[in-house]
Amino acid sequence: MKQRNQAHIGTKIRTCKKCKDIIAENALYDYCPKCFKRIDEVFNKIKEYLAEYPGATSFEMEQELGIPYHVINNFVREGRLVEIPNDYIHIECKGCGCLLLSAHHKYCPSCRSKLEEEIEKAKNQFKKIKVADKARMHIRHKG
């Protein structure tokens, strides 16, 4: 028993910033492997969004991806993201008129989802139309 306790005394430990689990003092990150994996998945979502919409704001990403603003700002503080001033954020949604936090989109997320639902309904209705119900064109012969 004494040998075990002595072994722990020599090893310095620290805790994960997120879940407070014990991690080794010489660990590369301030997070346990589980938390680091989740954080990395969130970062990859942001990275993919920025690849598609360069110059997006943290507020826009919160609105579009559902990632809280403070999480995105943590990546900025850590140096993983760089914040660039954005002066063109005074755009209104074409559907409801609310202020958009993006120059990349014309509709807010709720109006976009409503439009997508309407498009899907129209597609389904169009598929239901039978061939016999469709009008047919013919050439009129002058005789």
Closest CA to 108 of 116, 120, 98: 98
Q: Encode pLDDT of 86-117 as tens digits.
A: 555 567 788 887 776 666 778 888 888 899 99
Distance CA 1, CA 18 (A): 32
Banded pLDDT at 20 (limits 50, 70, 90): confident
Question: What b/e string do you get for 32-60 counting C-beta neighbours within 10 Å, with b at 16 or more?
Answer: beebbeebeebbeebeebeeebeebbbeb
Q: In 3-state terms, what secondary structure has residue 15?
A: strand
Residue 97 confidence (pLDDT): 76
- Is there a contact between 30 and 16 (Cβ–Cβ < 8 Å)? yes
Average pLDDT over residues 17-43: 85
Tokens of 80: 């993983």
Average pLDDT over residues 19-35: 83
**pLDDT at 76 > cutoff 80:** yes
Higher local confidence (pLDDT), 132 or 22: 22
Instruction: Name the phi and psi angles at 94, rounded to 5.
Output: -70, -15
User: What does pTM read for this prediction?
Assistant: 0.54
**pLDDT at 47 > cutoff 70:** yes
Residue 45 confidence (pLDDT): 93
